[in-house]
Amino acid sequence: MASSSFSRAVFQRIQSCILGIGSLVLAFAAVPALSGAPAAAQTSPANVWWKHAVVYEIYPRSFQDSNGDGVGDLNGITSRLSYIESMGIDTIWIAPMYPSPQIDFGYDISDYVSVDPQYGTLADMERLITEGKKHNVRVVLDMVLNHTSDKHQWFIDSASSRTSPKHDWYVWNDGIPIDSAGVNDYQKKYVQTNLEGKHVVPPNNWESLFGGSAWEWVPAVHQYYYHKFYKQQPDLNWSNPTVEKAAFDAMRFWLDRGVAGFRLDAIPTLFEDPQMRSEPVLAGTNAQGDPNLQEIYTQNLPEVHNVIRRMRVMVNGYAGDRVLIGETYLPNTAELNKWYGGEAHDELQLPMDFLVGFHGDHDKLNAANFRARIDEVQTQVYGSQPLFVFDNHDNVRAIDRYGDGTHNDLINKVLNTVLLTSKATALTYYGAELGMPTTTPTRKEDVKDPIGITGWPKEKGRDGERTPMQWTAGPQAGFSTNPKTWLPIPPSYKTNNVAVETKDPNSELNWFKQLAMLRRTNPALHDGKQTMLDASNPDVLSYARSTGSGPAVVVAMNFTAEPKTISLDLSGTGITGSTVKTLAADDASLKSVHSLKNITLPPYTSWVASVQ
């Protein structure tokens, strides 16, 4: 795998504590006040909230429309807090709701300290935070630091003249003469004429992840600016300390208003090689028709870690254990470890581990792969807290990546079992609790995501995983009163919705709820060490969770379409006890299991039991 798998995994889709009784009390304790005076830097005790959180990503356009315009909004989210709470969710991450031209549906921010009118007002956001506290639901915001919108006043000023005080806030380059050594045909496609009338081309072969050169010419300044994403998303120049100050000020604005933390968008992309070296070219072209590159000069530059350490100090200045979550697509656990700050634990508390939930091209239920990845992050990051994630707004939903088309509902339960019963913070995405499928547009003219238009038909964009939430079998699935929703309601809404699944005790929704609640109330599941069992079994993933005192828990999942019989040997785990009591099983036959020997798991079933 290349040193960075961000583009491959996301956009090209190639593979792309608490002990004893005290835990019960604390797990249900009210959310502590989040606002208030800066406090001293915090360590991260075992009972810190984010170690036990179940985080729910909400794509605000698609969750709940409250004003009938066909687009979801903040008041819509507030109206659904009871549902969120009832599911065992204690934290929501809201994808960008700031003012934006919406080229990249909010990831192109034109004002960091306000709310886009189509999503509501600052007062609505404040109300969501306040109401969230009443429901024990914290609010994490998305913070896009690599780039702004080209309509942000910072960029407008920057692009107005070379002498603008903000010119250096973005990454500008004069270009190089077209006949310079090493210039390739790809660069030549972007030729321009500079102030002296000479033909110049971009300084290197860097590409936008969304297609084409990453360099865009601005005649007013006779320079190119760099954009890792759409050309309407110019990259900020993070080597300018004023940029860092402005970004931290924006974060403080929200921390002062009581947000629980941030999900840091595309955070490995903050810095680029100051020498402007071209990336190594790999074989073939991507879905946008551009040469494949190994992104060693535009991703994961070491400088980013200095910024993150300073950001952590800034965030630690606030009471309430605010958290930094990172969008960190990385090739391996050793790279992930760096984002925690390794042994120093002084960077992100929760960089996302995509290695467990995104196996690229080979996304399928492979017990050995899951076992190895889970074990690795629990033993190779100096005791930092793993964050597992299977779904987000950029990828085909896990149910479709891991599903076999026949047992998708059971497979969804397996995925949610791994997510909710591992010793890891859990991150899920609206609809995943229901088994909502990906509904990709079938005609180019229906596509809303720009990369699906430029990449059609190889890349059909991300609309499929952003369809409106399916609440009921009624009009617009209960998402909106307006028949013209921003994306169509998927046909699956009739049977696959909150109302129907709430009533069905065996539904995916009730499975999710049951496990999310067990994770709070059962001390071993809440905080116990995770130890793999039956570790050479290619078909069944099994593990134990144990705090060392009190009943342990065993979890087993059949990863195949055939029944499988297992016997679990606890010797060497320190767990005593051999009487088993089922806590949760998605097949009735497992409810009466009393022994760890000869347990037959029907196809794709999940089983959670207490050992005493």
Query: To the nearest 5 percent, what fractions of the chain are helix, strand and coil?
Result: 30, 15, 50
71 binds, among Mg ion, ligand BGC, none (CB under 5 to 8 A by kind): Mg ion
80 binds, among Mg ion, ligand BGC, none (CB under 5 to 8 A by kind): none
From candidates 57, 327, 465, 527, binder to ligand BGC by CB under 6 A: 327
Considering 116, 265, 295, 508, which one is annotated as catalytic?
Answer: 265
Instruction: Give the Cα separation of 536 and 530 in Å (integer).
Output: 16
Question: Min. distance of Cβ 110 from Mg ion in angstroms?
Answer: 19
By CB under 5 A, name the binding residues for Mg ion: 65, 67, 69, 71, 73
The residue number with the shortest CB distance to ligand BGC is 107
Upper half-sphere CA count for residue 307 (Cβ side, 13 Å): 25
**588: Cβ–Cβ under 8 A, 6 or more apart, which residues?**
none
Question: Min. distance of Cβ 483 from Mg ion in angstroms?
Answer: 14
Contact call for residues 523 and 578 (beta carbons, < 8 A)? no
Select 73 or 244, whichever has its Cβ closest to Mg ion. 73
Question: Min. distance of Cβ 267 from ligand BGC in angstroms?
Answer: 9
**531: Cβ–Cβ under 8 A, 6 or more apart, which residues?**
543, 544, 545, 546, 573
One-letter amino acid for residue 84 of the chain: I
Question: Min. distance of Cβ 61 from Mg ion in angstroms?
Answer: 9
347 binds, among Mg ion, ligand BGC, none (CB under 5 to 8 A by kind): none
253-272 binders of ligand BGC (CB under 6 A): 265-266
CA distances from 225 to 206, 217, 268, 451 (A): 12, 6, 19, 20
Count of Cβ atoms closer than 10 Å to residue 333 Cβ: 19
Q: What are 589's two structure tokens?
A: 């036959």
545 binds, among Mg ion, ligand BGC, none (CB under 5 to 8 A by kind): none
Question: Min. distance of Cβ 358 from ligand BGC in angstroms?
Answer: 13
Instruction: Give the Cα separation of 408 and 508 in Å (integer).
Output: 10
Angle value at C-alpha 585, between 422 and 597, nearest 5 degrees: 85
Q: For the window 474-513, what string marks contact with ligand BGC as x by the rule CB under 6 A?
A: ----------------------------------------
Question: Min. distance of Cβ 146 from ligand BGC in angstroms?
Answer: 7
104 binds, among Mg ion, ligand BGC, none (CB under 5 to 8 A by kind): ligand BGC
144 binds, among ligand BGC, Mg ion, none (CB under 5 to 8 A by kind): ligand BGC
**148: Cβ–Cβ under 8 A, 6 or more apart, which residues?**
108, 109, 110, 154, 155, 233, 234, 236
**Helices (H), ranges, 135-240:** 153-158, 185-188
3-state secondary structure of 607: strand
Select 49 or 93, whichever has its Cβ closest to ligand BGC. 93
404 binds, among ligand BGC, Mg ion, none (CB under 5 to 8 A by kind): none
Nearest to 296 by CA among 221, 163, 205: 205
- What's 92-155 look like in SS3? EEECCCCCCCCCCCCCCCCCCCCCCCCCCCHHHHHHHHHHHHHCCCEEEEEEECCECCCCCHHH
Question: Min. distance of Cβ 127 from ligand BGC in angstroms?
Answer: 26
Select 225 or 229, whichever has its Cβ closest to ligand BGC. 229
Our answer to whether residue 265 is catalytic in this structure is yes
Question: Min. distance of Cβ 459 from ligand BGC in angstroms?
Answer: 13
Q: For the window 389-428, what string marks contact with ligand BGC as x by the rule CB under 6 A?
A: ----xx----------------------------------
Select 229 or 339, whichever has its Cβ closest to ligand BGC. 229
Site size with ligand BGC, rule: CB under 6 A: 9
CA distances from 102 to 65, 97, 231, 263, 536 (A): 17, 10, 13, 19, 49
Instruction: Give the Cα separation of 482 and 247 in Å (integer).
Output: 37
400 binds, among Mg ion, ligand BGC, none (CB under 5 to 8 A by kind): none
67 binds, among ligand BGC, Mg ion, none (CB under 5 to 8 A by kind): Mg ion
Question: Min. distance of Cβ 73 from Mg ion in angstroms?
Answer: 4
Select 67 or 160, whichever has its Cβ closest to Mg ion. 67
19-78 binders of ligand BGC (CB under 6 A): none
127-156 binders of ligand BGC (CB under 6 A): 144
- DSSP H or E stretch at residue 512: helix 508-521
From candidates 49, 154, 226, 229, binder to ligand BGC by CB under 6 A: 229
109-128 binders of ligand BGC (CB under 6 A): none
Our answer to whether residue 527 is catalytic in this structure is no
From candidates 57, 65, 104, 279, binder to ligand BGC by CB under 6 A: 104
| Residues, the chain | 612
Q: 223-226 and 215-218: which strand pairing?
A: antiparallel
Name the E strands within 254-410: 261-265, 281-285, 291-293, 323-326, 350-351, 387-389
Q: Which residues bind ligand BGC (CB under 6 A)?
A: 104, 107, 144, 229, 265-266, 327, 393-394
Residues labelled catalytic: 265, 327
